[in-house]
Amino acid sequence: MRRVVVTGLGLVTPLGGDVETTWKNILASKSGAGPITHFDASDQKCRIACEVKPADHEYGFDPSKRVDHKVQRQVDPFIIYGIDAAGQAIEDAGLTDMDEATRLRAGVSIGSGIGGLPGIESESLVLHEKGPGRVSPHFVHGRLINLISGQVSIKYGLMGPNHAVVTACSTGAHSIGDAARMIRDDDADIMLAGGAEATICPIGIAGFAQARALSARDRRIRTGPGALDQFQRPARTGEPAL
């Protein structure tokens, strides 16, 4: 049985676009929660969420660092977050110059609980309002959960196992566990593993609110420890290199 260790980390979170910024803000007891800005949430029961911040924010995320603009236009945010976090983990692990033999034994195990919900919602509206001929040709491959692993493997040239987990909020942990077992069982030498989510959109917030899984007490947003009275919908990703 082979030992498995974490050699690099990558994060895109509501508290920062990388590991260092996110950890610094956690230690400073900062909160990623705030009023929803991705869409007009005035008619929603819940009007707060933990959004990944734009690049011009104090601790924002700049997707252009690692994700091609063409890809950004074609895929949902959860895939963009995953590609960037994977790149961070590769850099942190010192694996940016892998030869072909190494890449043949390097794989990906990244999942998502829901996947491209914003894109599914928006393209459904296009279908309803403009007809099937106006639906994006990138609709399917830009929303499927397994395409986060696919896009990461394409971007970084990883030719080992390619795996996608869908187990709701346990997805990231299960992805890491599966990746560790692949290394332990000698199916791979290196695995990028984790989870990504980006479901802050009208149907996502409405659905969780109707299930009473989101807080409706958003008149005053506290920003210190213990700020949340119920689950708040986050957008985030985290991936280690094993």
Looking at residue 215, what is its pLDDT? 86
The predicted-structure confidence for 73-121, as pLDDT tens digits, reads as follows 999 999 999 999 999 999 999 999 999 999 999 999 999 999 999 999 9
The CA distance from 135 to 144, in Å, is 16
Sorted by sequence, the CB contacts under 8 Å of residue 13 that are 6+ apart come out as 22, 32, 52, 234, 236, 237, 238
CATH at residue 86: 3.40.47.10
Looking at residue 95, what is its pLDDT? 96
Q: Does residue 2 form part of some domain?
A: no
The predicted-structure confidence for 17-47, as pLDDT tens digits, reads as follows 999 999 999 999 999 999 999 999 999 999 9
The CA distance from 241 to 86, in Å, is 8
Looking at residue 145, what is its pLDDT? 96
- Work out the percent of the chain whose per-residue pLDDT is above 90: 87
How many domains, the chain? 1
Mean pLDDT, rounded, of the chain: 91
The CA distance from 25 to 100, in Å, is 38
Q: Does residue 19 form part of some domain?
A: yes
Q: Does residue 3 form part of some domain?
A: no
pLDDT higher than threshold 90 for residue 53: yes
For residue 220, the enclosing domain spans: 8-241
Give the predicted TM-score (pTM) of the model: 0.91
Looking at residue 228, what is its pLDDT? 45
DSSP symbols for 65-106: GTS-HHHHHHS-HHHHHHHHHHHHHHHHTT-TT--HHHHHTE
pLDDT higher than threshold 70 for residue 12: yes
pLDDT band at 238 (very low <50, low <70, confident <90, very high): low
The predicted-structure confidence for 169-220, as pLDDT tens digits, reads as follows 999 999 999 999 999 999 999 999 999 999 999 999 999 999 999 988 765 5
The CA distance from 113 to 220, in Å, is 29
Looking at residue 234, what is its pLDDT? 57
Contact (CB, 8 A) for 14 and 233 = no
Structure tokens at 93: 């692990």
Looking at residue 227, what is its pLDDT? 45
Q: Does residue 1 form part of some domain?
A: no
